[in-house]
A and B are shown apart, each in its own frame.
Chain A
Amino acid sequence: MNNLIQNEMLKLLARKRLIVVGGILAILVVLFTYAQYQTVQTQLKKLGTTDWRTTLQQQIIDTQNRLANSRIPDDFKKELEVRVKQQQYYLDNDINPAEPGAPSFTKEFMENSIDLLLPLMIMVIASDLVSSEFSMGSIKLLLTRPVKRWKILLSKYITLLLAISLIIAMMGLVSYLISGVVFGYKGWTAPAFSGFRITEAGFDSSGASIIPQWQFILMDFGVVWFAAVVVGTLSFMVSVLIRSTAAGMGIILALLIAGAILSNMVSSWTSAKYFFMLNMRLTDYLNGSPPPIEGMTLSFSLLVLTVWWLLALVISFTVFTKKDIY
């Protein structure tokens, strides 16, 4: 088994896709860092101060004024109310929700890439793990060895899990190193809130506790990893089912983008919450942002994702072990 995994890893490294992913990430992080820097500068010009309390207070006031507007839709109103209460909570406790520094940037970057950017990167790796063997014809060589088929697939799957872990670490590292040049590398021990909940009644801070930022970031990475594993497994399944890598990528891409679009407009179509794409934003539960559909909770999303994950795994293994190879 160990040898099989080594073999798969060698193949993966030889294809240089990890380097491509790293390059794409580095370019994007440079862009985002610059954008963030510009935002800070304009804010400085507008408010005349960099004091986060003043900025946050202004944000609260602005949102309160938006709430006073009678033309905004109800669900958006609810979201704004949650945001105001959360910001007020930060302000009352004298804790900066966006402590400047590379750790905060990294956190935000992970939170924003969990539902689209990261899955795309994962997909690049996962979608041709099996199908490329078909398209290159090497599958026959692989299967003529005296090893059970499920073992071969398992070694590929484990390699995928390893690659996902590596990509996430790469993402964190790249964004930390690059953004730190501008924002500084400090901020790991800054206080952060965890345990906000969104209930029927709105924002609930009764379970909140203060933890150091690095613990929060670790949690963020943990759920990001889980979401990435689910997407990776689904791409893996598609890769088993469809021989063409391009077609497989297209399918996953379409699903992911559909999810991104849906989450902006489905608040009234509640059964959409069983789609995996709408449950991807796990980090939102950690930082207390409202879910796309009312009533969704962390445990619900984890359950939905786990079901999709298991299904994809079962389908991949049964199909691959029974498939006629010619």
Chain B
Amino acid sequence: MLILRKSLSIIITAISAVLLLVWLGGFVYAVQNNLNVKAGDIKDTSRNSKKSSVVNNEKDLKVVAIGDSLTRGMGDETGKGYIGYLTDEMKAKSDKPVIVQNLGISGQESDQLLAQVKTYSVTRQLKEADYILITIGGNDLFQGGQTLADFQPAAIKSIQKKYLRNLDAILSRVRSSNKEAVIFLVGLYNPFIELDNGKETSQVVREWNFNSAETAAKKPKTVFVPTFDLFELKVNDYLYSDHFHPNAKGYRLIAERVAALLTW
């Protein structure tokens, strides 16, 4: 028994000694590798070049939503946003599985969205989509309420020009990554309609929407979805306490409108 113990202990000691050397080697390697990094030498020693093929499963409905805080669902206490309600509705109506990718980023303006749709991974997801939903422009125009408070028509003109150029580029970009999917561009409403200069601001928003719709109309299979009228009469019932984003009711209205347009 004692002899067995002894030989066991010798074996374990030997194994441990080898392991000690291995870990020491790993440590030296780690230190070397991380302390003397030379800039700009991306060495590709192991990457397998096979790009995974895009899986387009015919059986499910894929929705990709891009845009700003409206896509994200800001202001909705349940956190769903119009995308969430729309998904619920689609799931109820369809027996296919519904997959939704919400890529909305709060506070995003049109030039940031343009940069986002240009990235490889977003392009990849757009490619697989059956429906693409976009909300954009609210932050360009309102700048958190600043633009309309100052109300300088010339400044608004130049903002709008820039926005339309970006929108055109976004829609072209999305279309080129996916030829088949229907694109829904959700229009703006006027959250400031009940303020003093509501008439003037409404006019600006209407014109903005009109031009967005015109831009969308030039692209194939691109539908402009108006929301202006939804918030026209009882805007405060449908707005969150920041008087800017919709609340749950408001989002539900937008979702119903989009849902009515979806066919499969």
Contacts and interface: CB of A to CB of B under 8 A. Distances in A.
Interface string B1-44: 00001101110110111011011111111110111011111111
B47 interface: yes
A57 interface: yes
B103 interface: yes
Contact of B48 (A14, A65, A68, A191): A191
Contact of B23 (A6, A168, A286): A168
B1 to A, nearest CB: 12
B105 A65 contact: yes
Interface of B: 5-6, 8-10, 12-13, 15-17, 19-20, 22-31, 33-35, 37-48, 51-52, 55, 60, 72, 97-107, 119-122, 124-125
A223 B13 contact: no
Interface residues of A, number: 60
A5 B12 CA distance: 12
21 contacts: A6-B6, A10-B9, A13-B12, A51-B52, A68-B105, A91-B121, A95-B47, A165-B17, A166-B12, A168-B19, A207-B39, A209-B42, A210-B42, A210-B44, A218-B26, A219-B27, A221-B23, A222-B25, A222-B26, A225-B27, A298-B31
B42 A13 contact: no
A293 interface: no
A174 B40 CA distance: 38
B120 A212 contact: no
A157 B209 CA distance: 77
The 3 closest A-B pairs by CB, nearest first: A222-B26, A207-B37, A222-B27
B101 A54 contact: yes
Contacts of B122: 57
Contact of B125 (A57, A168, A190): A57
Interface in A277-302: 285-286, 298-299, 302
A245 B37 CA distance: 44
Contact of B30 (A53, A191, A286): A286
Given A6-B10, A53-B124, A225-B24, A194 B33 contact: yes
Contacts of B52: 51
